[in-house]
Amino acid sequence: MKVMSVIRIFASVAGLVVLGDSGVHAQTEINPDHFDSPNAEPFPQPKTTTGSEVEPLRYDAEFT
């Protein structure tokens, strides 16, 4: 008799977990393409160097 009661309680809890509503809903953004910015100017472009100041990268080690 006690085993049947435990099985009923377990089945009830399992049914509530499977069929019950969690009450949680996904959030959506109201206006995702709108960005407020105090400064609407473009970013400054980096200065390019001419001549031999810039050397190519070199990797002499091995990896697997």
Interatomic CA distance for residues 43 and 49, integer angstroms: 19
Cβ burial, residue 25 (10 Å; 0-12/13-18/19+): exposed
Is the whole-model pTM more than 0.75?
Answer: no
User: Which pLDDT score is estimated for 10?
Assistant: 94
pLDDT value for 32? 64
pLDDT of residue 51: 58
pLDDT tens, position by position, for the chain (64 residues)? Answer: 788 899 999 999 998 888 877 777 777 766 666 666 677 778 888 777 665 566 778 888 887 7
Q: How many CB atoms lie within 10 A of CB 3?
A: 7
What are the phi and psi torsion angles at 15 (to 5°)?
A: -65, -40
Task: At 19, list the tokens.
Answer: 């069929």
